[in-house]
């Protein structure tokens, strides 16, 4: 994941405010990392995965991405580690592991 930066803090001066504080760049919050909230992370076992997509469907954080081969991967830049994906997986293909474990 490439390092993304936002113009905030000392870089952002009052002249940078758009009229009426309007944000003209749609979806710009996608630059924000929420992966660092995580205390546990999902590990997807490709062997068990049947590409059903339920993990993708139920993820509140849009942190499961569909790959070209039809499998799914977690986007750890965003994944907050809630564990919903592991819970809804009918094949037990997703395990949550503690963040400090490698």
Among 1, 2, 16, 69, which residue interacts with another protein (rule: CB under 8 A)? Answer: 16
Please check whether residue 78 is in contact with residue 35, taking contact to mean a CB–CB distance below 8 angstroms.
Answer: yes
Among 1, 5, 9, 101, which residue interacts with another protein (rule: CB under 8 A)? Answer: 9
| Minimum gap (Å) between residue 96 Cβ and another protein | 8
| Minimum gap (Å) between residue 102 Cβ and another protein | 21
Residue placing its CB nearer to another protein in the complex, 45 or 85: 85
Residues contacting 22, CB < 8 A, separation 6+: none
In whole angstroms, give the CA distance from residue 84 to residue 87.
5
Give me the residues paired with residue 66 across strands: 72
Q: Is 62 exposed, middle or buried (0-12, 13-18, 19+ CB in 10 A)?
A: exposed
Binding status of residue 41 toward another protein by CB under 8 A: no
State the binding string over 42-81 for another protein (x if CB under 8 A, else -): ----------xxx-xxxxxxxx--x--------x-xx-xx
């Amino acid at each position: 994941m490439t390092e993304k930066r936002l113009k905030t803090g000392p870089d952002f001066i009052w002249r940078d405010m758009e009229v009426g504080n309007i944000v003209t760049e749609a979806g710009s919050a996608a630059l924000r990392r929420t992966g660092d909230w995580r205390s546990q992370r999902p590990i997807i076992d490709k062997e068990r995965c049947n590409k059903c997509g339920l993990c993708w469907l139920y993820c509140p954080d849009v942190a499961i991405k569909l790959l070209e081969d039809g499998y799914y991967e977690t986007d750890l830049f965003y994944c907050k580690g809630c564990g919903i994906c592991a819970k809804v997986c009918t094949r037990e293909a997703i395990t949550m592991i503690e963040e400090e474990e490698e």
